[in-house]
């Protein structure tokens, strides 16, 4: 588990075996698709869950995706996906790792 500051808020980044189960356990709505990660916005902190079953590259792109959700919680999923898709090769090639 890592603790980082993003946008002035503390974030806990956790790898979990079953993202959906962990989201459910915390009382959040998990949606219908398969989940690789989740961004749970709480009062003072943000919890980002990443599936432990992913490889490093998948974990990194999922982490980037969830951080985008954290920074801009009102952004539509398709816009988050576009930012992830466009930004990820750039940051991965410069050493961003989960």
Distance CA 40, CA 49 (A): 8
Q: How far apart are CA 20 and CA 47, in angstroms?
A: 14
56 or 77: whose CB is closer to Zn ion? 77
> Cβ 31 to Zn ion, closest distance in Å?
9
> In this structure, how many other beta carbons lie within 10 angstroms of the beta carbon of residue 46?
22
Question: 13 or 95: whose CB is closer to Zn ion?
Answer: 13
* Nearer to Zn ion among residue 15 and residue 64 (C-beta): 64
Contact residues for Zn ion (CB under 5 A)?
Answer: 77, 80
């Amino acid at each position: 588990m890592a603790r980082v500051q993003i946008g002035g808020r503390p974030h806990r980044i956790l790898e979990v075996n079953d993202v959906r189960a962990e989201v459910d356990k915390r009382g959040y709505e998990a949606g219908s698709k398969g989940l690789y990660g989740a961004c749970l916005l709480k009062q003072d902190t943000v919890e980002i869950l990443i599936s432990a079953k992913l490889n490093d590259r998948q974990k990194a792109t999922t982490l980037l995706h969830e951080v985008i959700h954290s920074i801009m919680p009102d952004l539509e999923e398709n816009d988050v996906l576009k930012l992830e898709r466009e930004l990820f090769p750039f940051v991965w090639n410069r050493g961003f790792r989960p």
